[in-house]
Amino acid sequence: MSLPTIKLNQGIHVLHLFYRVDRLRWNALGAGESTQALARLEKLCAANANPSHPRVVTFANVSGKADLVFMLQTAELGHIAQLHRDLEAGFAPGALSLVFSYLSVTELSEYMPTEEESRQMLIQQEKLSADSEAFITRMAESNKRRADYEHYRLFPELPDWEVMGFYPMSKRRNAADNWYSLDFDTRKKLMGGHARVGRKFAGRVSQLITGSTGLDGWEWGVTLMAHQVDALKEIVYEMRFDEVTARYGEFGPFYVNLRLAPPALWRHLHL
């Protein structure tokens, strides 16, 4: 029986998987089994190497919370479930143990400025006449930026940089500091300031925020691609001073990982 076809109304599924290698089991593998496992993983990655999806990307965890790390992206739920199982089946039974996993989906931010808000900003703040050539040009630019933002938010193409950081997070729901008791306009204003902090790191950090409310133990998954750990540390530190984080942020475990293709992964982990 084939798996059911389950797609989202918009966006794709994202699955982060963190495994530890059972060294005793691995060292007991027969001759050639490690090479065969590597070949199977390379084949799976090559068959799922699209810019957005389906995509399988491999990493090595730094600090020992895990060994092998995988990030999977697919449009269809059954596909990501099958990739997960195919990935595990490529290794000898008992060779890997799952230490952490996170399922989420790409989504649009409800706080993105609307076309009408952009229109009013040009008229009221920049004093452009709605029938002027400058207004028409600026609106066209604004609409293109919005369309590009929405496309890459739903169908991300993360850069293949050297470092990947991942952590889950939620908004606080305490009596005194309950994010969900705030009205929409207040939340939107706060998130505007939050976004401005993130934009300061353009070119140094590429962010993917995926939604997981009702899908996993937290409300969002945050994936950060960078060239250096400095950038990860700095963006998270600066966010601490933003009110959205300072008053309402709750964070899960942080994982820092090296982007390594399968052959380099094998050499690094002495597999």
269 Cβ neighbours under 8 A, 6+ residues apart: 21, 60, 67, 68
Look at residue 1 and tell me whether its pLDDT is greater than 70: no
pLDDT of residue 191: 87
Is 167 a residue of the active site? yes
C-alpha to C-alpha distance for 157 and 225, rounded to whole angstroms: 11
Asked if residue 220 lies in contact with residue 247, where contact means CB atoms within 8 angstroms, the answer is no
* Nearest one of 121, 245, 101 to 171, comparing CA atoms: 245
Q: Tell me the average pLDDT across 162-184.
A: 93
Most confidently predicted of 104-113, 192-201, 258-267: 258-267
Look at residue 10 and tell me whether its pLDDT is greater than 80: yes
Q: Which carries the bigger pLDDT value, residue 156 or residue 195?
A: 156
- Segment among 76-85, 143-152, 209-218, 259-268 with least mean pLDDT: 143-152
Catalytic pick among 102, 111, 149, 167: 167
Q: Tell me the average pLDDT across 224-251.
A: 93
- pLDDT tens sequence across 56-104: 999 999 999 999 999 999 999 999 999 999 999 999 999 999 999 999 9
- pLDDT tens sequence across 160-169: 999 999 999 9
Asked if residue 21 lies in contact with residue 68, where contact means CB atoms within 8 angstroms, the answer is yes
Q: Tell me the average pLDDT across 195-211.
A: 90
Look at residue 193 and tell me whether its pLDDT is greater than 80: no
Angstrom CA distances, 45 to 32, 55, 76, 106, 261, stand at: 20, 7, 17, 21, 9
Domains of the chain: 13-107 (3.30.70.1030)
C-alpha to C-alpha distance for 253 and 167, rounded to whole angstroms: 6
Q: Taking the complete model, does pTM exceed 0.85, yes or no?
A: yes
And the tokens for 143?
């609409």
Q: Tell me the average pLDDT across 133-151.
A: 86
Which band of pLDDT confidence, cut at 50, 70 and 90, is reported for residue 16?
very high
The 3-class SS string of the chain reads: CCCCCCECCCCCEEEEEEEEECHHHHHCCCCCHHHHHHHHHHHHHHHCECCCCCEEEEEEEECCCCCEEEEEEECEHHHHHHHHHHHHHCCCCCCEEEEEEEEEEECCCCCCCCHHHHHHHHHHCCCCCCCCHHHHHHHHHHHHHHHHHHHHHHCCCCCCCCEEEEEEEEECECCCCEHHHCCHHHHHHHHHHHHHHHHCCCCCEEEEEEECCCCCCCCEEEEEEECCHHHHHHHHHHHHCCHHHHHHEEECCCEEEEECCHHHHHHHHCC
pLDDT of residue 86: 97
The per-residue pLDDT of the chain, averaged, comes to 93
Asked if residue 72 lies in contact with residue 59, where contact means CB atoms within 8 angstroms, the answer is no
